[in-house]
Amino acid sequence: MRKDRNLDELFRDKLLNYEQEPPAYLLDNILSAVAGERRKKKLIFWRVAGVAAALLIAFVAGWQLNEGDLPEMKQAVLVGQSSTPTKSPEVQIQSEKVMPAKEITSATTSLASNVVSSASQKIQSNSIDRNSKSVATSFASKSTPIASNNESLLMKPLKSLYRMIKPETENSNTLQAMKTAENSPALIQKTIDQQIMELNKKILTAENTSEEKARWLVGAQVSPEYNVSRGSQSRSYASNMLRSSSANQVDLGGGISVEYKKGKRWSLQSGVYYSGLGQSSGNSSGSGN
């Protein structure tokens, strides 16, 4: 029996399920290629993750740095004027609180008394009237080597200076107060912040109730300076307008002031204050005013 078939059927029947064993090395090639692809994907993933982590760290670090530096910068940038000299916050607070501090000590709690008494001790030791050593002198003597540091270490001296201005005794007193607070059952629930707020409130009340006596105060001030060149001109132009020795450099200013306090609101203050700010221009061909 002869059965005729056309060309299409012939090829379809013979080749549709045609099988042939491929060379053995192909499997190795395929497996290694697949493993390579997976490694590549993992590598890409880790690279992306690494870049994202680095960006995150950089962002957080930058943010923290800005947050940490801004208050110091604000305190450090001082503009010296002899008529209204700017006092460093610590000295100013001390000079204003000389009298009420004694009154407060008796009125506050044990914690408050610790803090205030230590503050008054500090004031007494720092006061020019009672002690020969002034805060200004000690600050100035400690700050001199810092001020002469390299310009590239711009923020470092500022930070260290700020730490020196902020007395360490305050920290130790706070710790002592915390220890006292731990022993006192009434204050055990209060946080340090609450206690300080309470103390400030009492100081204010004491100030209001105290007799307003006219008194003389003599003060000395030392303050760090940081020249920041700002203007509508370019940064380099504004920077050139400062003396090369003072541009972008930490410097110190200082002076002595005398204050006559008439009452709570009125006081007359005068003094001499030195500031290292300067200006120069080397471009004489420009249209300067």
User: Which residue number, 46 or 59, has a Cβ lying nearer to another protein?
Assistant: 46
Q: Give the nearest distance from C-beta 25 to another protein in angstroms.
A: 9
Q: Is 35 in the site for another protein (CB under 8 A)?
A: yes
User: Which residue number, 18 or 216, has a Cβ lying nearer to another protein?
Assistant: 18
Stretch that binds another protein, among 6-14, 103-111, 165-173, 265-273 (CB under 8 A): 6-14
How do 250-261 and 267-274 pair as beta strands?
A: antiparallel
Q: Where are the beta strands (DSSP E) in 168-214?
A: none
User: Which residue number, 9 or 151, has a Cβ lying nearer to another protein?
Assistant: 9
CA 121 centroid distance within chain = 28
Longest Cα–Cα distance of the chain, Å, equals 139
Q: Is 27 in the site for another protein (CB under 8 A)?
A: yes
Stretch that binds another protein, among 26-34, 206-214, 237-245, 259-267 (CB under 8 A): 26-34
Q: Is 29 in the site for another protein (CB under 8 A)?
A: yes
Q: How far apart are CA 249 and CA 25, in angstroms?
A: 71
251 token code pair: 């410097």
Torsion from C-alpha of 91, 92, 95, 97, nearest 10 degrees: -110
DSSP code string of 127-171 = -TTT-SS-HHHHHHHHHHHHHTS-TT--HHHHHHHHHHHS-HHHH
Q: Is 45 in the site for another protein (CB under 8 A)?
A: no
User: Which residue number, 31 or 52, has a Cβ lying nearer to another protein?
Assistant: 31
Q: Is 48 in the site for another protein (CB under 8 A)?
A: no
Q: Which of 19, 67, 193, 211 binds another protein (CB under 8 A)?
A: 19
Identity of the residue numbered 13: D
* Residues that bind another protein in the complex, under the rule CB under 8 A: 2-8, 10-12, 14-23, 26-27, 29-31, 33-35, 37-38
